[in-house]
Structure 1
Amino acid sequence: MTTATPLAASPVTADTLAAFSDAFNRHDANALMGFMTEDCVFDAAAGPEVYGTRFVGRAAVRAAFEAVFKSFPDAHWGHGRHYVAGERGVSEWVFTGTHTEGWRMQAEGCDLFEFRDGLIAVKRAFRKERPKLPA
């Protein structure tokens, strides 16, 4: 008798990262979390530590993403370019958004990813530091 072997998870591709970016632009936290492992890690671009601010686990990562959407109701990551090499990937983008305090941001940035079992396990965000622009 043979035992069925579960199918391996589909590998993450540049199209996967493009779909992940599209979910960010829709501000769709449910869709975003569907791309990520249960024990995912998100290192935000800003924060007191060398890695920025770290969020661990789906609940914390989701809350961090939702906080961005709340602070920047028109947040958009445009001009996306996405690359995958094995279990790592990169997304390049230009972030634009108007903060609820009334100032605007426009800056180039990128995300560095680590994948596991066809999902995003780690997302590290990097963004140019620029002065706040008038809205």
Structure 2
Amino acid sequence: MSSNANQPDAQFLARFAQAWNDHDIDALMGFMSDDCVFHAVAGPDALGKSFVGRDQVREGFMAAWGAFPDAAWVDGDHWVHGDRGVSESTFKGTAADGSRVEARMVDVFTFKDGRIAVKNAFRKNRPALAKAG
């Protein structure tokens, strides 16, 4: 576990969430450890699709914005306990076909040396909403 001086807190996760809403990949990657892993909300495996290492994690993060160019994570709450953390929010986004997603979700984090080593994303499996308009 990290020392207290280097330990992420709820504000750390709030800044990470803001980088998602800003669609700022460089800022996001600044929060991630060198050996980071991202388990996406969907994919072929029990953990969804896993992205391992900085290059793959960057690709996985950018894929979220590719699928939902207006992606936003709102109403966030963040908790940290030791080397684990949780962010709870509502994901909102519009896919290329105009269908919309709005669902509660959580990210479960594991920290290492003051950065995010694992981001494991979970989202409610809600049917797509009707196209706007």
Q: What range describes the TM-score normalised by the shorter chain of this pair?
A: over 0.9
Identity %: 53
Secondary structure of the structure 2 residue equivalent to 1:112: strand
- Give the drift of 1:48: 1.2
Aligned counterpart for 1:68 among listed residues 59, 64, 69 = 64
Which residue of the other structure, out of 121, 124, 129, is the alignment partner of 1:128?
Answer: 124
Moved segments of 4+, more than 6 Å: none
Pairs within 5 Å for 1:75-90 = 75-90=71-86
Unaligned runs of 5+ in 2: none
Which residue in 2 is equivalent to 1:3? none
- The alignment's C-alpha RMSD in Å is 1.3
Q: 1:17-56, aligned counterparts within 5 Å?
A: 17-56=13-52
TM-score (norm 1): 0.92
Aligned-pair CA distance for 1:114: 0.2
How many corresponding residue pairs?
129
Structure 2 letter corresponding to 1:21 = A
In structure 2, the CA distance between the partners of 1:32 and 1:117, relative to structure 1 (3 Å rule), is same
Give the strand-richer structure, 1 or 2: 1
TM-score w.r.t. structure 2 length? 0.93
- 1:117 maps to a residue whose letter is D
Q: 86, 95, 99: which is aligned to 1:99? A: 95
